[in-house]
Amino acid sequence: MTENKLKIIPLGGLGEFGMNCLAIRWQDDIIVIDAGLMFPESELLGVDIVVPDITYLVENRQCVRGIILTHGHEDHIGGLPWILSELNVPVYGTEFTLAYVEGKLEEHKLLDSTELIEIAPKSKFTIGPFTIEPIRVTHSLVDCVALAIETPVGVIVHTGDFKIDLSPPDGKAFDLHTFAEYGKRGVLALLQDSTNVDRPGYTPSEWAVKPRLDEVFSRTKKKLFFSCFSSSIYRIRIALDLAQTHHRKVAVVGRSIVESSEIAQDLGYLDIPPGLMINPGQINDYAPENVLILISGTQGEPMSALSRAAVDNHKHARIVSGDTVVLSSRVIPGNEKSIYRVIDHLCRRDANVIFDDGASGLIHVSGHASQEEQRLLINLLRPKFFIPVHGDYRHLKKHAQVAVETGVIGQAILIEDGDVLEITPKEARKNGKVTAGRVCIDSGSNVDVVEDIVIRDRRHISEDGIVLPIITINKLSGKVESQPEVVTRGFAAVDAGLIENARQIVSKTLEGSSSEEKADYGVIKEKVRVDLKRFIQKNTSRRPLIMPVILEI
């Protein structure tokens, strides 16, 4: 009978990278593992984030018992505010993960109404018919866990994101022993991270970057700018250790990296010696060879600290000839154009730019397991059923093949978002689908769901109209050749002077921008759009679609 089968229902993360969310159901009890988001492709105009469609959870809200988080990356916790606005359920996570979650929920005014329950490795807890043991795993973030879930039909293991690092910088190694114990007792199904299935061999330890970074610190004669993902606490820790060794004071620039490092310091993951840190305003008080600037913006985000510093538009972070900039991160697919644009600007400043170009020595290592680590864990657990998770379909398919090649699993099953996988002690098979997909969110003054991007834009234009600031820029000199024009369609100005004032706002933005910014159309369009949007909203309380147009001569 159906009620005697365990159901595994992925709602996100199987068929794409990001937006990880998976439901496990036994009769009238549902637990949810992770609640992630993904960032939109460039064609999704006006969309800030993309989250999983949780129609299935909303329809069965009386059955949902809680959300369990494996770690604190955005692709695993970023969708929480959206989901919790629809479902008021407890959220379980490790200490560090919940510290990230608290800031996110406070920003969305959901902290007071949400029950946060701290979990820890090796400490079992029970939700309905499920007994869950978090197992310590290593990743590019600290305090990450896999989940061993005892269900009425057997043990399910969900790895979360992982790699097998037996000597991480915080000393909290991957818990191979507990995985082996579960393997001895018997595992019904393994859900394993597929992200790096294309990579043979093993993923290097976090320590592997230290020799090359040590060399960079030794050779750098002027200021050293170091950029990594704000959540890469291990990398920040290594940079701080090297700064102390090489007698450099450290300034932290950029909101996300400031917040992450403060949380890590509060929870004991960063032990910062007295006198090492300085305020960004003190950077010029020290000789260039005695300063390290930790700076956010490693993916070339248009308004990040590094992007602004690259075009000499940051109050404290000034990059000059001879300075060194290290980008200690991978290039996330889709961000190549933004990152190489920033690198171009840095090269124009005559800075020495070091990024993950495959040259000698590592400045970045992945946080995900390569093929041999995936095989090792499969051999330890010896599951009856294997389900690859996290990745595009090609990754899931390749991962299933890798798993079958180990020769220790009974069956590898490929499922995608919305598939219902029914499992008994003897068999696992797909049986039907639930509603699944992507929900586009525009997080302006209110969090608006973008049900269909085309309909949304049509509605937007029909209600508030469209404003086209037209700017003429000389491609060679970067100079603005004539006064900006502001053309409107479907937007009625409140008074005759509004359009003229709007033109002045655009002119002021252009005057306050460097020639490099003007030559970078992506940056200058965003600056004009933001300033004009703020002015129009303040003066009309309306939000027309603003699309800057640059005429190149």
* One domain, residues 137 and 276: no
* Greatest distance between any 2 Cα atoms in the chain: 79
* Residue 158 marked in a binding site: no
Spell out the SS3 assignment of 243-304. HHHCCCEEEEECHHHHHHHHHHHHCCCCCCCCCCECCHHHHHHCCHHHEEEEECCCCCCCCC
* One domain, residues 430 and 460: no
pTM of the model: 0.83
CA atoms in the 13 A half-sphere facing the CB of 241: 16
* One domain, residues 184 and 276: no
* One domain, residues 6 and 154: yes
* One domain, residues 468 and 433: no
Domain annotation covers residue 314: yes
Domain end point (choices 384, 413, 440): 440
* One domain, residues 171 and 239: no
Residue 258, domain CATH? 3.40.50.10710
Domain annotation covers residue 373: yes
Q: Can you read off the two tokens belonging to residue 423?
A: 């499992």
* One domain, residues 347 and 489: no
* One domain, residues 419 and 478: no
* Residue 71 marked in a binding site: yes
Domain annotation covers residue 275: yes
* Residue 139 marked in a binding site: yes
Domain annotation covers residue 491: yes
CA atoms in the 13 A half-sphere facing the CB of 2: 8
Instruction: Convert the pLDDT of each residue in 205-225 to its tens digit.
Output: 999 999 999 999 999 999 999
Residue 181, domain CATH? 3.60.15.10
Residue 38's domain comprises 2-201+366-440
* One domain, residues 423 and 396: yes
Domain count of the chain?
A: 3
Task: State the pLDDT at residue 42.
Answer: 57
Domain end point (choices 354, 385, 400): 354
* Residue 161 marked in a binding site: yes
Burial (CB count <10 Å: 0-12, 13-18, 19+), residue 537: middle
Domain annotation covers residue 361: no
Residue 465, domain CATH? 3.10.20.580
Domain annotation covers residue 360: no
On whether the CB atoms of residues 312 and 318 are closer than 8 A, the answer is yes
Residue that the structure tokens 């005697």 belong to: 4
pLDDT in tens, the chain (553 residues): 445 899 999 999 999 888 999 999 999 999 999 999 987 765 555 567 889 999 999 999 999 999 999 999 999 999 999 999 999 999 999 999 999 999 999 989 999 999 999 999 999 999 999 999 999 999 999 999 999 999 999 999 999 999 999 999 999 999 999 999 999 999 999 999 999 999 999 999 999 999 999 999 999 999 999 999 999 999 999 999 999 999 999 999 999 999 999 999 999 999 999 999 999 999 999 999 999 999 999 988 888 999 999 999 999 999 999 999 999 998 876 678 889 999 999 999 999 999 875 555 689 999 999 999 999 999 999 999 999 999 999 999 999 999 999 999 989 999 999 999 999 999 999 999 999 988 877 655 445 565 556 556 666 677 788 888 998 887 777 778 888 888 888 887 667 688 888 889 999 998 888 877 887 888 888 899 999 989 988 888 888 888 888 887 7
Task: State the pLDDT at residue 550.
Answer: 87
* Residue 390 marked in a binding site: yes
Domain end point (choices 389, 407, 440): 440
* Residue 312 marked in a binding site: no
Spell out the SS3 assignment of 371-422. HHHHHHHHHHHCCCEEEEECECHHHHHHHHHHHHHHCCCCEECCCCCCEEEE
Q: Crossing angle, helix 233-245 and helix 255-266, to 10 degrees?
A: 90
Residues with a catalytic annotation lie at: 193, 368
* Residue 46 marked in a binding site: yes
* One domain, residues 132 and 27: yes
* One domain, residues 240 and 332: yes
Separation between Cα atoms, residue 92 and residue 66, nearest integer Å: 7
* One domain, residues 243 and 98: no
Which of these, 446, 439, 329, lies nearest to 36 by C-alpha position?
Answer: 439
Domain annotation covers residue 447: no
Task: State the pLDDT at residue 270.
Answer: 93
* Residue 48 marked in a binding site: yes
Domain annotation covers residue 446: no
* Residue 367 marked in a binding site: yes
